Amino acid sequence: MARKSRRELAQQGGTTELPLTVREVALAAGVSPITVSRALHRPALVSEATREHVLAVVKELGYVPNLLAGSLASSKSRLVAILLPTIANSIYASVVQAIMERLTEAGYQALIGPTGYSPEKEEELLEAILGRRPDGIVLTGTLHTPASRERLAALGIPVVEAWDLGTEALDMQVGFSHEQVGEALAEYFVARGYRRFGVISVDDPRALRRNLALRARLVELGISELPMEVLPLPATWEVGRIGLSRLLEHPTPPELVLCSSDTLALGVVAEASSRGLRIPEQLAVVGFGDTSNGRFATPALSTVSVNADEMGRAVAQSLLDRLAGNRQAVRLDTGFALVERQSS
């Protein structure tokens, strides 16, 4: 005798209401299951009359299609995985926000995984997340374990590396060159007459690359000394305060402080003002990130603006294009901008 299905068992128990299935909706609407499916997902294939009728029944019954089953059957999950160091950092969060907005519009959903800046953790998360068969993946930066690279290559699913433009792209890249940022900062402020620089940075791979490029360019410009405070993550406001305190203990304290994020810069401003240092006359401060798109700069602060919205949109768009069958390679430089403090 045939074993009882779980559905039969549950109904016998008579306790929990199981979610409806296409079959039940089809029955109620007097059509076949596939017609319900089509009315929902490919309306063009169904006559207007039946479509309306079916949709009415769907609404009345409160049917919510099971996307697990749908994805399995169609091998399309409408899921995009986003792996990033941490969401608790506005610089990443604002890009993710922009990505999600675009994806949501396009009917995709975002599966988010926090890697904590560790390629190993990224690999682990990747393994777990690939099991969901996402249609696309967004990674942060270009630093991945060999295993991660292999797996992604083998799977052939669309991948966007955001935030950085490395040499060997896994697939698509959207970001900018952090080396260029460092160099541009050096040139810009040396040209403006600054000579005594200081850096306050957290231990983020991209920030470190900006710092190195900055130092190298400064040396070329004849400035060999660059006090640098590299502090552990996360990049809180307090880290900026501590960083400044340390820099000021230096024999020749800086006249310009470059911070690896705007959050740090704000901490620096706070610390400076509590020490009675006038900004920017006695101490100029430069941030990085500018999630408010060019409006971060004030009489007190300059910043490097990276336009999170644009990057996020570009990331989402590259992915969506690819998912729509567009096979072209993408390597998009979203650039950055030095936004100088406004004249006060």
Partner DNA sequence: CTGTTAGCGCATTCAA
Partner DNA sequence: TTGAATGCGCTAACAG
x/- map, 262-291, a second copy, by CB under 8 A: x---x--xxx-xx----x-----------x
Instruction: Give the residue carrying structure tokens 């006038």.
Output: 278
Query: Contact with a second copy (CB under 8 A): which of 27, 55, 106, 110?
Result: 110
Rounded CA separation 176/325 (Å):
25
Burial letters 137-168, b for 16+ CB under 10 A, else e: bbbbbbbbbeebeebbeeeebbbbbbbbbeee
Instruction: Check residue 112 for interaction with a second copy (CB under 8 A).
Output: yes
Instruction: Check residue 16 for interaction with a second copy (CB under 8 A).
Output: yes
Instruction: Check residue 23 for interaction with a second copy (CB under 8 A).
Output: no
Rounded CA separation 244/257 (Å):
8
What's the token pair of residue 247? 């820099």
What's the token pair of residue 36? 């319900």
Size of the site for a second copy (CB under 8 A): 69
What's the token pair of residue 8? 């039969």
Q: What angle do CA 196, 306, 171 make, to 5 degrees?
A: 120
Instruction: Check residue 340 for interaction with a second copy (CB under 8 A).
Output: no
**Nearest approach, Cβ of 155 to DNA (angstroms)?**
13
Instruction: Check residue 344 for interaction with a second copy (CB under 8 A).
Output: yes
**Nearest approach, Cβ of 19 to a second copy (angstroms)?**
7
Nearer to DNA, 78 or 121 (CB): 78
What's the token pair of residue 259? 């911070």
Rounded CA separation 259/244 (Å):
10
Rounded CA separation 325/136 (Å):
13
CB atoms within 10 A of CB 234: 16
**Nearest approach, Cβ of 110 to a second copy (angstroms)?**
5
Instruction: Check residue 50 for interaction with a second copy (CB under 8 A).
Output: no
**Nearest approach, Cβ of 128 to DNA (angstroms)?**
13
Residue 97 interacting partner from a second copy, DNA, none (CB closer than 5 to 8 Å by kind): a second copy
**Nearest approach, Cβ of 137 to DNA (angstroms)?**
19
**Residue among 289, 261, 308, 329 at smallest CA distance from 101:** 308
Residue 181 interacting partner from a second copy, DNA, none (CB closer than 5 to 8 Å by kind): none
Residue 317 interacting partner from DNA, a second copy, none (CB closer than 5 to 8 Å by kind): none
Using CB under 7 A as the criterion, which residues of the chain lie in contact with DNA when the complex forms?
2-7, 9, 18-19, 21-23, 31-35, 37-38, 40-42, 45-47, 49-51, 65-66, 69-70, 72-76
- Report the DSSP pairing between strands 337-339 and 301-305: antiparallel
Instruction: Check residue 94 for interaction with a second copy (CB under 8 A).
Output: yes
**Would you say 173 and 314 are in contact if contact means Cβ atoms under 8 Å apart?**
no
Instruction: Give the residue carrying structure tokens 């400035």.
Output: 223
Instruction: Check residue 65 for interaction with a second copy (CB under 8 A).
Output: yes
Instruction: Check residue 132 for interaction with a second copy (CB under 8 A).
Output: yes
Tally of CA atoms within 13 A in the half-sphere of 50 that contains its CB: 21
Nearer to DNA, 27 or 338 (CB): 27
